[in-house]
Amino acid sequence: MRKLIHILIVMALSSVMVSCEDIYEGGEERHTPLPVQLKATIQPYDRDLPENWNGGEELGMFMFASGEENAFSSSACVRLRTDEKGDVQPVDSETMPLYPELATKVDFICFSPYSSEAASSRTLSLDVSTPEKAAASDYLYSDNARNKYPSLSPVKVQMKHVMCMVQFFITADAGISDDVLKALNPCIEEVPSKGEFSLAEGKLTSSAVESHIAMKTDAGMTRAECLLLPASSAVTVRCDVAGASLRRKLGNMSFESGKLYKFDLNVTEPGFEITLREIEDWNVETFD
């Protein structure tokens, strides 16, 4: 009798273990689909200047089976809206999309702001030829949430800027007048200004045409900044000093998504000097 009870207990435990394996290890047992919960955070260019959601921003979210060929290309893009805390809700339906019935792992790719063109083409069109176009192309992108099993816990996605930012911290030698500084007109030359960013691969294809990028400056001409495409190029900086257009080559540089490149630019008589101060990088969490 005791042996029979022991056998029954072992069989019950084995059944529970198989059930758990089906749910959490990709088994074939179907279960009630769970709604996706998602929480998004923003990785800023400058870690000293946090970026938060205002509430009302829209995201596009792709969810697809992990490791399956063509899974992303056949997935649907869901339009979401975030609140100030980064919690999201669907825009075009009353409920969040459901995890697959079979407990398989899934990946998430997100971008913001949402656009129907990006959702259908699965690419982001980027243009930094003017400050206004650069601001409109300042997309956020996330592919850090991968191999996720169905869960009641929110999927944490870390949204990272697709572009990179360049900042000049401007000083001047004694004797350089305010009028000379105000007419400095700093810009970056010999860099691509347009490109297509693949949401599937997280990579940019830039145009072969090189152009100059005008930089935004503050009123006192102490700082200048611009957004650049993540690409490698031989960079030239141009400034107008005392009526002369002068250039300094920085050499080949590789600009990467989400990074902040800080330079010190000192205006001299007659000319300017520029040196790299710092490249600020962030590590994207995977939340595995």
Q: Which domains does the chain have, with CATH numbers?
A: 31-161 (2.60.40.2620), 164-278 (2.60.40.2630)
Name the strands in the sheet holding 123-127, side by side, starting at the edge strand that comes first in the sequence.
123-127, 194-198, 203-206
Phi, psi torsion values for 204, nearest 5 degrees: -105, 140
For 106-158, the pLDDT digits (tens) are 999 999 999 999 999 999 999 998 989 999 999 999 999 999 999 999 999 99
- Amino acid, res. 31: H
Q: Write out residues in the chain with pLDDT < 50, as ranges.
A: 1, 3-5, 7-10, 12-27, 284-288
Residue 164 contacts residue 255 (beta carbons within 8 Å): yes
**What is the maximum alpha-carbon separation in the chain?**
103
Two tokens at 24?
């959490």
Query: What integer pLDDT is reported at residue 14 of this predicted model?
Result: 47
Phi, psi torsion values for 99, nearest 5 degrees: -65, 160
Residue 110 contacts residue 40 (beta carbons within 8 Å): yes
Residues in the chain: 288
Query: What integer pLDDT is reported at residue 27 of this predicted model?
Result: 47
Query: What integer pLDDT is reported at residue 170 of this predicted model?
Result: 96
Query: What integer pLDDT is reported at residue 288 of this predicted model?
Result: 43
Query: What integer pLDDT is reported at residue 232 of this predicted model?
Result: 81
C-alpha 176/C-alpha 150 separation (Å) is: 63
Question: What secondary structure letter does DSSP report for 150?
Answer: P
CA-nearest of 114, 89, 79 to 37 is 89
Residue 207 contacts residue 191 (beta carbons within 8 Å): no
- Amino acid, res. 210: E
Interstrand relation of 210-214 and 187-192 (parallel, antiparallel or unpaired): antiparallel
Query: What integer pLDDT is reported at residue 29 of this predicted model?
Result: 54
- CB atoms < 10 A from the CB of 178, how many? 10
